[in-house]
Amino acid sequence: MSIDLGKVLGAARGYRDLARAAVAEIPAGNQRAHHGFAWIATSVAALEAVADWLAANDGGTGLDRQVALLGFAETLAQLTGGLPMGQNELLRPGDLGLAAEARDLALACADLIDVDHAETRATLAAALADGQWPSEGLPEADLDAIRDQFRRFTAAEILPHAHKWHLANDLIPDATVAAMAELGTFGATIPAEFGGLGLSKLVMCVITEELSRGWIGAGSLGTRSEIAGELIALAGTPEQQKYWLPKIASGAILPTAVFTEPDTGSDLGSLQTRARLVDGQWVIDGAKTWITHASRSDLMTLLCRTRADTQGYAGLSMLLAPKPRGTDADPFPADGMSGSEIEVLGYRGMREYALQFDGLTAPGDALLGGEEGQGFKQLMRTFEAARIQTAARAVGVARRALELGLDYALNRKQFGQALIRFPRVADKLAMSLVDFVLSRELTYAAARAKDTGKRCDIEAGMAKLLAARAAWANADASLQVHGGNGYALEYEISRVLCDARILNIFEGAAEIQAQVIARGLLEGRN
């Protein structure tokens, strides 16, 4: 069966535009409607990304086209029937007053959605069983070579050890961090003049995806440096750039992002941690929470209030606050700083902490860019890249979940045959593959948008929204394939499920992404 991409995309875009017009008349307080529109727009964007992927690969292989067929069929069926915004939240066309319009879309795409695709799903599962995967080729020079390099590193240095590290709640070993630094992980996007590789955000996506496929902690370690590096490259003074960026790029300095507070969550305008100048030094008081890699880091990008009499975002500044690296015996040796570990289900390897500041000092020149009151604006400029990186982590997790489910289905026998011979198992694997490809291509599209230099908070939000859902869905499906064994800690899928769950929350929860997408599109930014 072939797809008339032009016809189908035209119909899907038309439905999206109708949804936009409908939601524009609905008060913003109706989150279900506005967030539902965001999911509609994200779903259509994923179809566009898959169409572009096929075009970039000369129409794709037969396997590519089958993946696209199922992706289009399922997405259109969701748009016209029920689009999942959460495990128990389905957006129905009637919620937006679009029941008739959805029926028109279903009629326009009837050849695609009114069909039993069991044979296609079986074909995809058989291809996976035979070791076949959809095309990964990227038109950008050297990307395939970079992917291969990090895939081989992950296979040799991360995958054999990740589950053991997770179960022991170990930090990623220093030797592994050093090896990642040697590969250029931490300086991939830092300009070459400051010791980095000066590569694109798309390259960083590929790196993050491959490392996260081994263990999300490994992929996330690079994201710490990505956030700090971009903050300093975009907003730092020449002196700050010259001092910090080469050290971050080489891995000599490991940064951590210190933004969230106990009672604020995504409400950054309510931050209360304060910093004041005393005798030429910044003196910091307050509390932070959910700070990743806080003990072993050397530099904090610290969002705090330097204008005590200014509420909201205008009073916030960003400090580049150095700290001594902690040890197991003394995790926070700096005077005026203490911390306690937050025990978590997954996302291990760096550890999470609640921090207390009671007179911690930072140099007088620690103010990012040398200007007060710019912290929130500086941070917002990096959120796009951070969210794209989170999407890339999710893509890696989604792939690993599928690989584990596939391996188990091939090797586990029940009733005299391998599990993959059972249609419900094969279906799970086939649809996991489809979700992986859709989220991968949407993430790459967001990275390319970022590389153009334009504002792309909408594209970044879409990528994170879809990829996080794919990671969780794939992990859940894979654990189901494992049956009771999947619930046993000794099986890797138990870790992957825990790791996948956080992706819908950090770097802006799914609900925040939907709000950003809806607001941006309704304002006409895209």
Active site amino acids: 507
Q: Which of 497, 26, 464, 454 is nearest to 205 (CA)?
A: 464
How many of the other CB atoms lie within 10 Å of CB of 298?
16
- Say whether 257 sits in a helix, a strand or coil: strand
Tokens 């004041």, residue located = 276
The residues, any chain, with a CB within 8 Å of residue 438's CB and separated by 6 or more, are 46, 47, 49, 50, 71, 75, 466, 470
How many of the other CB atoms lie within 10 Å of CB of 453?
7
The per-residue DSSP string of 476-497 comes to HHHHHHHGGGGGSTTSHHHHHH
How many of the other CB atoms lie within 10 Å of CB of 300?
28
* Encoded tokens for 73: 């069929």
Q: Which of 263, 254, 246, 235 is nearest to 381 (CA)?
A: 235
Please, is 136 exposed, middle or buried when counting C-beta atoms within 10 Å of its C-beta (0-12, 13-18, 19+)?
middle
* Encoded tokens for 330: 């003394």
How many of the other CB atoms lie within 10 Å of CB of 330?
10
The residues, any chain, with a CB within 8 Å of residue 267's CB and separated by 6 or more, are none
What is the spatial distance between Cα 13 and Cα 9, in angstroms, rounded to a whole number?
A: 6
What is the spatial distance between Cα 439 and Cα 43, in angstroms, rounded to a whole number?
A: 10
> CA 322, 324, 330, 335 torsion: positive or negative?
negative
Strand extents, DSSP E, 183-293: 255-258, 274-278, 281-292
Q: Which helix (H) or strand (E) holds 346?
A: none
Q: Is-contact 341 322, C-beta < 8 A?
A: no
Q: Is-contact 451 427, C-beta < 8 A?
A: no
Q: Is-contact 392 205, C-beta < 8 A?
A: yes
Q: What are phi and psi of 73, to 5 degrees?
A: -60, -50
Residue type, 402: L
What is the spatial distance between Cα 388 and Cα 212, in angstroms, rounded to a whole number?
A: 13
Q: Which of 322, 325, 321 is nearest to 303 (CA)?
A: 321
What is the spatial distance between Cα 369 and Cα 318, in angstroms, rounded to a whole number?
A: 9
**Alpha helix stretches (DSSP H) within 343-484:** 375-411, 423-451, 457-482
